[in-house]
Chains A and B, each alone.
Chain A
Amino acid sequence: MLLNHIGMALRSIIKHRLYSTINIVGLAVGLSVCVLIVLFVSHETGFDKVVPDSERVYRLNWESDQTGARFATFFNPLSPILADAHPDDVEMVTRITLSERLLNIGDEKQYQTISFVDENFFEMFPYKFETGSPSSSLINLNNAVLTKIAAATLFPGEDAIGKIFTLDGEHDFQVTAIIENNKSDSHQVSNIFINMEMLPVIWNDPAIWERNFSDQLYHYVKLAPNVSATEFETKALNYVINNVDKEYGGNINIYLQPLADIHFMTELQNEMSVRDTITGLSKPHRQRSDVSIFGFVALLTLVIATFNFINMQIAQSSNRVKEVGIRKVLGAKRHNVASQFIIESTVMAIIALITSLVIVEMFAPFFGSMLGVPLSADQIYTAEFGLGLILTTLLVGILSGLYPALFVSGVLPAKAIRGGAFDGIGSAKLRAGLVVLQFSIAIGLMSATGIVNNQIDFALNKPLGYEPENVIAVRLNNGEARNAYRTMHDQLKNSPFIDNVSAGSIIPTWDLSDGASFSKEGEGPDFQLITRLITADDGYFDTLGMKMVAGRPLSDEFAADRTPQFSPENPHVTGGMVINETAAKQVGWNDPAEAIGQQVYAAFSFGNTDYRIDSTIVGVVEDAHFSSVRSEPASLSFGLGDNQKVMVVKVKKGNINDAIELIDNVWQQHVPSYPIRRTFLKEDYASFYAVEGRVFRMFIGFAGLAAMIACIGLYGLASFIADRRTKEIGIRKVLGASVMNIVMLLSWELSKLVIIANVVAWPVAWLMMDGWLSGFSYRIDMSLAPYIVAGTIAFFLAYATTSARAWTAARINPIYSLKSE
């Protein structure tokens, strides 16, 4: 019986090819978009799930009480101390830090990111070992573990096991194990692992494990089952204050960051790199809300496609009243007819599902590469996903068959055979309602797209507060370079190709440092100046194109400007300071000029020494976006000092190539042991935002597709209406209506639904987008323009679609449509 039904269903689908095709294509495209987005969303939300007991694994964060900044790193010696002190709470701790080092193999030199890990790292983060073993491969301090791709990169065409490489020209390591590559949904990007005990040597920092306030490492902790993270946070904080260093008290907070959150926290300082330097794959942190928006778009697309499908089935069914009548005369029971309809639409839905699987197979890799996420359709064929997909399809099929099944099957055979108008019970209203909803969603999506696009444009084009054009950043990533800085500076500064040279501890696009809290003599605790510190050399602002809004930049022309490095021997230092606008506002100096000449100091004790830095504010600089334009500019202070990590060179326009050649030569001359690492600030900045832009361009594509699906349905509906109204069209033509009259009549009928859809969509979209925009510190003011544009596009799409169909209908000679049988 069922087979018979399916056979009949297939025949009927073939018989009504136009409707069937439109219907199946609409649903298939909708399903495909939905599945592609769900693939992306599930990839993003599935980060680090493969780590065993991942729900009990956390990364230790700390937060500065003064600045409120939260750090992904944690204090060097603390996690093993905490683990030892709380054996019942902590199952395991492990640490990692990534450091770019010069790596030699034979004569060949290259920079590679080396990961220093605790010996038990591979117990917490399971990698499959191709050769070697997780427990023994890092036992010896001169052992190294490589991922497969790292092995192939460092030792192409050879077996890497047993091979030697040298770090910084002096430390040899031997490869003892090869492990699988990083998964695309793991936040780890390490490829070359060596034992963390080598850090004191490699970093030439014997005191690294003694410094309680150095946070150079990422610490992961696995709690015992049933231990509450919040309780352990408190426990840990109390323990370190009481038993490790009382200076933690009132200065820090401890957080356990769930492993699953790592991919979604975009506001952490000292965040681990998200770029795998060997594969080039980047796994940028996502805003959770962005991922939710995508999920929402997937859902809406599915809803549009489903409505479309239901609508078409209903439309179709009233054309088949006669067929139903005949069936019933021939003895079909109502439930036979009803199940026929349901089976038919289910069969169609299944065909659409199969079509969409083909589409997804074809587009998943392309879609993935657009989003910078390796996606493959394989994930569909998991039990959960597959089941979900099949259930959704069946649901759509059954739902859309239900209306015709319930109502059309109930018509009386005599009436049905006589033909005439069948309107079902409110079927015209239901259809109209579905079209309105469908278009509301499409219009909502399109206007949202416009707003997203405007906001992203606005954010990306907002004045940065610095000028990245023609600025080359050269990393001072070794002692030799840092020592040679002054010489290189002078030599470059004299070149006609170069406008300016300076250096700093941090430049825009880099992470900010920890902060300091300044006080002012004679002011109470109400005085608030908490800033992130940046060390700058003379000319820093000029080179980076940062403008002073009051006072003057820091300069060696003023002997008192330079702040010497403090040390136990020299605990009290003085110097000049420049703050930015945000910092000035924080104090309450609303006119930046008020800040000039103010004396502030930061005091703290460390070990047994009391330190104090006295600073005179000499200038206020315009706010600049060091980090994402999504966040507010940080409060910053700049001091003239010697802690330089990067040299910045402003090159004269048109002399880029000469300047690069010169910079490379100067480097070669003064830093012969290390290859140069230089980038264009403009490119650093662009890559900072590349992902953001790409994700939202994708969003735009989806909204367009959704609108298209809605139009497919509209075409179908127009066909249906035209078919059903052939007689009426004929009569009107006989009575003198022109083709144009008819086209206007039919098109208007559907287009007016689109106008109603606008009325529904605008307020809803407005509210939702207002919510989304409130997540930005710099946001556009919402205007009506995107709504008007979206509404107009939808209206004209709808009008064009329906007129195209109406045109064909209007051209039919009435003698055919009015033939009396």
Chain B
Amino acid sequence: MLKLQDLTKAYRTDEVETVALNNVNIEIDHGEFVAIMGPSGCGKSTLLNIVGMLDTPTSGHYYFKNEDVAGYSEAQLGVIRKQHIGFIFQSFNLIDELSVAENIELALLYHDIPASERKERVATVMDKVGIAHRAKHMPSQLSGGQQQRVAVARAVVGNQSMILADEPTGNLDTAHGQEVMGMLQKLNEEGTTIVMVTHSPSHADYARRTINLLDGHVVTESMRA
């Protein structure tokens, strides 16, 4: 599905240059569930942002479905992103002024999908994550676990083939964390590729493969039996 080749990302701020990713080579197949671990500041989010096409590498290649997107413009990346990639964030990032259903629908708004079909798909996906009874609620009325379920629904409602999750359980208590992980696992079983950053070894265990980062390098890759 995607292949990073000699990928480097450096940030320049005033005088200092921070190399967030250094010569990273990673390949992820379609349908994989990959966890990324490593200490704070090692470049996990940077990696996820580049994979998610929110950011561009300083050098190296990024093949997405065999297409090198490393040199693409923001607009070009945007087009690929909205078709293929869904995001889940640690802090949910729901829009406070919109209801649950509207938040989910937002992901379809920029896809030229007629309103009736949007409603249908939103309803289906809400059922799937068990949030249908809260469709009219505002995010502030939901618990953290429920909010993250909405975020998951939003990430997949557009039939995205890959979900990128940056510490999706970081703001949740254990029980809700498990719940979200279960949901991701189910999605993965249904064929969605998942790349997830986590600090929790037990949550990393849901993944078939774990990539350990340190100072921008891939140090180990381990496969679950």
User: Closest B-chain residue to A736, C-beta based?
Assistant: B82
In the complex the two chains form, is A820's CB within 8 Å of B110's CB?
Answer: no
CB neighbours of B87 from chain A (8 A): 734
Are B91's CB and A815's CB within 8 A? no
B-contacting residues, A697-752, CB 8 Å? 727-728, 730-739, 741
Residues of B within 8 A of A735 (CB): 82, 106-107, 109-110, 154
Q: Across the interface, do B154 and A736 meet the contact criterion of CB distance under 8 Å?
A: no
Instruction: Assess whether A813 is in contact with B110, with CB atoms less than 8 Å apart.
Output: no
Interface code B100-115, partner A: CB below 8 Å = 1, 0 otherwise? 0000001101110000
Does A420 count as interface, using CB distance less than 8 angstroms? Answer: yes
Q: Knowing A735-B106, A735-B109 touch, does A730 contact B55 (C-beta < 8 A)? A: no
Q: B55 contacts which chain A residues (CB < 8 A)?
A: 813, 815
**CB distance B82 to A820 under 8 Å?**
no
State in angstroms the CA–CA spacing of A497 and B154 once bound together. 90
Q: Is the CB of A820 within 8 A of B106?
A: no
Bound state CA distance, A780 and B140, in angstroms? Answer: 57
Q: Which of B45, B49, B107 is within 8 Å of A736, CB to CB?
A: B107
A738 adjacent to B97 (CB under 8 Å): no
**A316 and B212 alpha carbons, distance in the complex (Å):** 44
Q: Name the one of A728, A738, A820 contacting B78, with C-beta atoms under 8 angstroms.
A: A738
Say whether B75 faces chain A, with CB atoms less than 8 Å apart.
yes
Please tell me if the beta carbons of B96 and A420 are within 8 angstroms of each other in the complex.
yes
Q: Does A814 contact B (CB under 8 A)?
A: yes
Residue of A nearest to B171 (CB): A820
Question: When the two chains form their complex, are residues A736 and B90 in contact, meaning their CB atoms are under 8 A apart?
Answer: no
Across the interface, do B110 and A814 meet the contact criterion of CB distance under 8 Å?
A: no
Q: Check B82 against A421 for contact (C-beta < 8 Å).
A: no
Please judge, given known A-B contacts A813-B55, A820-B167, A820-B170, whether A736 and B110 are in contact too, CB under 8 Å.
yes
**Are B95 and A731 within 8 A (Cβ)?**
yes
Report chain B residues within 8 Å CB of A603. none
Within the complex, the shortest CB–CB distance from A814 to chain B, in Å, comes to: 6
Give the residue name and chain of the A residue nearest to B55 (CB): A815
Give bound CA distance, A198 to B72, whole Å: 98
Given the complex, which residues of A lie within 8 Å of B95, measured CB to CB?
727-728, 731
Q: Flag whether A354 is at the interface (Cβ < 8 A).
A: no
| Interface positions of A from 181 to 214, Cβ below 8 Å from B | none
With A and B bound together, what is the CA distance between A420 and B94 in angstroms? 11
A818 interfacial contact with B, CB 8 Å: yes
For chain B residues 70-99, which have a beta carbon within 8 Å of chain A? 75, 78, 81-82, 87, 89-91, 93-97
In the complex, chain A residues whose CB is within 8 Å of the CB of B110 = 732, 735-738, 741
Contacts of B109 in A (CB 8 A): 735, 737
Q: Complex formed: what's the CA distance from A735 to B106 in Å?
A: 7
Chain A neighbourhood of B96, CB < 8 A: 420-421
Q: Is the CB of A734 within 8 A of B54?
A: yes
Q: Which of B28-84 contact A (CB under 8 A)?
A: 45, 49, 52, 54-55, 75, 78, 81-82
Max chain B Cβ within 10 angstroms of own Cβ: one of A733, A735, A820? A735
User: With A and B bound together, what is the CA distance between A814 and B81 in angstroms?
Assistant: 13
Question: How far apart are the CA atoms of A652 and B56 in the complex, in Å?
Answer: 80
Flag if B75 contacts A731 (CB, 8 Å). Answer: no
For the complex formed, measure the closest distance between the CB of B198 and the CB atoms of chain A, giving whole angstroms: 13
Question: If A735-B154, A820-B170 touch, does A815 touch B107 (CB 8 Å cutoff)?
Answer: no
Do B154 and A815 touch (CB < 8 A)? no
A818 vs B45: C-alpha distance in the bound complex, in angstroms?
12
> In the complex, which residues of chain A have a beta carbon less than 8 angstroms from the beta carbon of B140?
420-421
Q: Distance (Å) between the CB of B85 and the closest chain A CB?
A: 9
Contact between B93 and A730 (Cβ–Cβ < 8 Å)? yes
Contact residues, A224-271 vs B (CB, 8 A): none
Report Cα–Cα, A200/B157, bound state, in Å: 105
Contacts of B94 in A (CB 8 A): 731
A820 partner, pick from B49, B54, B75, B90, beta carbons under 8 A: B90
Supposing A814-B54, A820-B167 touch, asked if A731 and B49 sit within 8 A by C-beta, the answer is: no
Query: Of residues 404 to 441 in A, which have CB atoms within 8 Å of B's CB atoms?
Result: 420-421
Known: A421-B97, A734-B87, A820-B91. A815 touches B54 (CB 8 A): yes
The chain A residue sitting closest to B56, CB to CB, is A813
Q: Kindly identify, within residues 758 to 816 of chain A, every residue whose CB is under 8 Å from any CB belonging to chain B.
A: 813-815
> Which residues from B are CB-within-8-Å of A728?
95, 97
Query: What is the CB-to-nearest-CB distance from A524 to chain B, in angstroms, rounded to a whole number?
Result: 81
Question: Which residues of A (363-416) have their CB < 8 Å from a CB of B?
Answer: none
Q: Which A residue's beta carbon lies closest to that of B49? A: A815
Cβ-defined contact, B78 with A818, below 8 A: no
Minimal beta-carbon separation of B210 from chain A (angstroms): 22
* Min CB gap B153→A, angstroms: 12
B54 touches A727 (CB 8 A): no
**Residue in B82, B93, B96 whose Cβ sees the most chain A Cβ within 10 Å:** B93
B79's nearest neighbour on chain A, judged by CB, is: A736
Q: Which B residues are in CB contact (< 8 Å) with A733?
A: 78
> A731 — nearest CB in chain B belongs to which residue?
B93
A577 to B55, CA, bound (A): 94
Contacts of A741 in B (CB 8 A): 110
> Given the interface contacts A420-B140, A728-B95, A813-B54, does A736 sit within 8 Å of B78 by beta carbon?
yes
Contact with A along B148-179 (1 / 0, CB 8 A): 00000010001000000011001100000000
Which chain B positions have C-beta within 8 A of A732? Answer: 106, 110
State the Cβ distance, A738 to closest chain B Cβ, in Å.
Answer: 6
Which B residues are CB-close (under 8 A) to A818? 89, 91, 93
For the complex, give the distance between the alpha carbons of A728 and B102 in Å: 13
Question: Once the chains are docked, how many angstroms separate the CA of A820 from the CA of B40?
Answer: 13
B54, B87, B109, B158 interface centre (most CB from chain A within 10 Å)? B54
| Chain B nearest Cβ from A744, distance in angstroms | 12
Tell me the minimal C-beta distance from A212 to chain B in angstroms.
84
In the bound complex, residues from chain A placing their C-beta under 8 Å from that of B49 are 815
Residues in A neighbouring B54, C-beta threshold 8 A: 734, 813-815
CB within 8 Å of A: which B98-156 residues: 106-107, 109-111, 140, 154
Chain B residue nearest in CB terms to A821: B91
Which B residues lie within 8 Å of A420 (CB)? 96, 140
- Which residue of chain B has the shortest Cβ distance to A740 in the bound complex? B75
For A727, give the chain B residue with the smallest CB separation.
B93
Nearest CB of B to A431, in Å = 14
Name the A residues within 8 Å of B78 (CB-CB): 733, 736, 738
CA distance A813 to B49 in the complex (A): 11
Of the listed residues A727, A738, A815, the one surrounded by the most CB atoms of chain B closer than 10 A to its CB is: A815
Binary flags per residue of B14-30, CB closer than 8 Å to A gives 1, else 0: 00000000000000000
Which residues on the A side are within 8 Å of B107 (C-beta)? 735-736
Minimum Cβ distance to chain B for residue A263 (Å): 57
Task: List chain B residues, Cβ under 8 A from A813.
Answer: 54-55
* B111:A736 contact, CB within 8 angstroms: yes
Q: How far is the CA of A239 from the CA of B111 in the complex (A)?
A: 94
CA distance A365 to B175 in the complex (A): 76
Determine how close the nearest CB of chain A comes to the CB of B110; give it in whole angstroms. 4
27 examples of A-B residue contacts, CB within 8 angstroms: A420-B96, A421-B96, A421-B140, A731-B93, A731-B94, A733-B78, A734-B52, A734-B54, A734-B87, A735-B82, A735-B109, A736-B78, A736-B81, A736-B111, A736-B158, A737-B109, A738-B75, A814-B54, A815-B49, A815-B54, A818-B89, A818-B91, A818-B93, A820-B89, A820-B91, A820-B170, A820-B171
4 nearest A-B residue pairs (beta carbon): A736-B82, A736-B110, A820-B91, A820-B90
Known A736-B78, A818-B91; 4 more pairs at CB < 8 Å = A420-B96, A734-B87, A735-B106, A820-B91
